Structure 1
Amino acid sequence: MSRIIAFSVVIMAIFVSGCSQQLQRQTCVKLTPEVNYCLAPMLQAPTNNEQLLSQKISFTHGEKHHELLTQLELNSTQMTLVGLAPIGQALFTVTFDGDEVISQQNVLMGEDFKAEYLMAIMQLIYWPHEQINPYFNQGEMHDIDCTKQRCSALIVNDQQAITIDYSNTNPWLAEVILHFPAANITLSISPLL
């Protein structure tokens, strides 16, 4: 099964490269006016084994709503995220090797698509807090009380800047909802089994 998934990632990457541009991206992102987050090194990835996760992502920004399908692949040396439109059109392939972020993206994505933000969000959702907290210039991720199976938040100046709700205590098995009020963004992630 993992060979089929890996083969499909290669095929998607080939399709993306036909009408795409390659961009080197920043490894640090500004999450709020006072908070920067730099991607955590891959040597501290959450697992020593290869991790594959196929997902459906629903993204709401203000009145705009978008959906895409993604595959997140992690190993000890690289983080790769591949995105497809719901109709199967290749949108992007983003890799982070611990030093740099390379985005291979469809020209239809435009210059405004910042792949490094998506990689940062994935780390906030799936990495253990103790591995990512040193990479904030201010604030920390903490588990918080809630009515879901698990919730966490980026706490900045005693305020919740970003909250993440999980339907399962294991984030890799959970449906996830990320709320980012300052940017008027809600991100819903459902694993595809």
Structure 2
Amino acid sequence: MSRAIIATLLFLGLILTGCSAVTRPEQQVNITAQGSLTLLPVPQVLRGTQITQLLRASYGDDSYELIIQLEFARERLSVIAMSVEGLPIFEQVYYSDGRLITHQFLAGAGPEPSYMLADIQLVHWPLQQLQYSIHGAELSERVSSDTTTRIVSEGGESTIIIVYDANKVSLSHKQRGYKLELIRLEE
């Protein structure tokens, strides 16, 4: 076999096998310039549930689509991301003791784990639990006949806006400049 073929096979093998890491993300995640969120264990109301969503993310001129599966268990939150074609991208498992196990199937794939965990908690955790875990910012919620809106504000200015519609959640993070749209794929 030629060296080029061997090198190509080794390179493909490394990409396909991915890499794993066990880390402890910061328990205090900066969600605004002055505000932080203390990461929380999975709340009782979510335990035993699973959600599959189409994630549309935009940052500047870039946009992406992923399928995200969230599994809420007693001691852990599992996040699996794959391309819309079904190729695995990354898996993250956050345990209530603070351990985070990450499997990346594509080099450099996946968002900053602590930011992703904070966004998941801001979207899915009950308001009452979140209010006790946010420091240096305020969290409020407005309910109308067809939507619910959560707002994280700092100094009276809205920084993170989360809007819940019938089967869609939109998150806009003004300070970081990204937008997420989560569309539920199953009932």
Q: TM-score range by the shorter chain?
A: 0.7 to 0.9
Distance 1:86 1:101, change over 3 A: farther
Deviations 1:48-88 (A, max 9, x none): 64010001000001111011101101122211111111222
Q: Which runs of 4+ in 1 moved over 6 A?
A: none
Residue 18 (structure 1) aligns with: 17
Aligned to 1:38: 38
User: Would you say the 8 A contact 2:69–2:80 is kept in 1?
Assistant: yes
Q: As a proportion of its length, which structure holds more helix?
A: 1
Q: 1:31 to 1:109 in 2, by over 3 A?
A: farther
RMSD of aligned Cα (Å): 2.3
Aligned counterparts, 1:134-173, within 5 A: 134-144=132-142, 148-168=146-166
* Length-normalised TM-score, structure 2: 0.81
Q: Give structure 1 stretches of 5+ with no counterpart.
A: 1-15, 169-173
Taking the TM superposition and a 5 Å limit, the aligned residue runs for 1:179-190 are 179-190=172-183
Counterpart of 2:32 in structure 1: which amino acid?
T
Structure 2 residue identity aligned to 1:28: Q
Distance 1:154 1:46 in 2: 23
Cα pair 2:80 2:92 within 8 Å, conserved:
yes
In the alignment, structure 1 residue 28 sits paired with structure 2 residue 7: no
Q: Residue 129 of structure 1: which of 108, 127, 130 is its match?
A: 127
Structure 1 CA distance for aligned equivalents of residues 16 and 50 of structure 2: 22
**1:101-140 equivalent positions in 2, closer than 5 A:** 101-106=99-104, 108-110=106-108, 113-140=111-138
Supply the distance in 2 between the matched residues of 1:111 and 1:23 (Cα, whole angstroms).
16
**By how many angstroms is 1:185 displaced?**
0.6
Q: 1:109 to 1:85 in 2, by over 3 A?
A: farther
CA contact 1:103–1:115 (8 Å) conserved in 2: no
Cα distance change on mapping 1:64 and 1:148 into 2, 3 Å: farther
SS at match of 2:135: coil
Cα deviation 1:135-187 (Å, max 9, x = unaligned): 2221132113678511111122222110011113xxxxx30000111111110
**Following the alignment from structure 2 to structure 1, what is the Cα–Cα distance between the partners of residues 44 and 137?**
21
One of 173, 178, 183 as aligned partner of 2:171: 178
Unpaired segments ≥5 residues, structure 2: 1-14
Bigger Rg over Cα: 2
The 10-residue stretch of structure 1 (66-75 or 19-28) with the greater mean CA deviation from structure 2 = 19-28
TM-score by length of 1: 0.79
Q: Per-residue deviation at 1:101?
A: 4.0
- Note if contact 1:37-1:120 (Cα within 8 Å) is conserved in structure 2: yes
| Separation in 2, partners of 1:85, 1:60 | 15
Q: CA deviation at 1:20?
A: 2.1
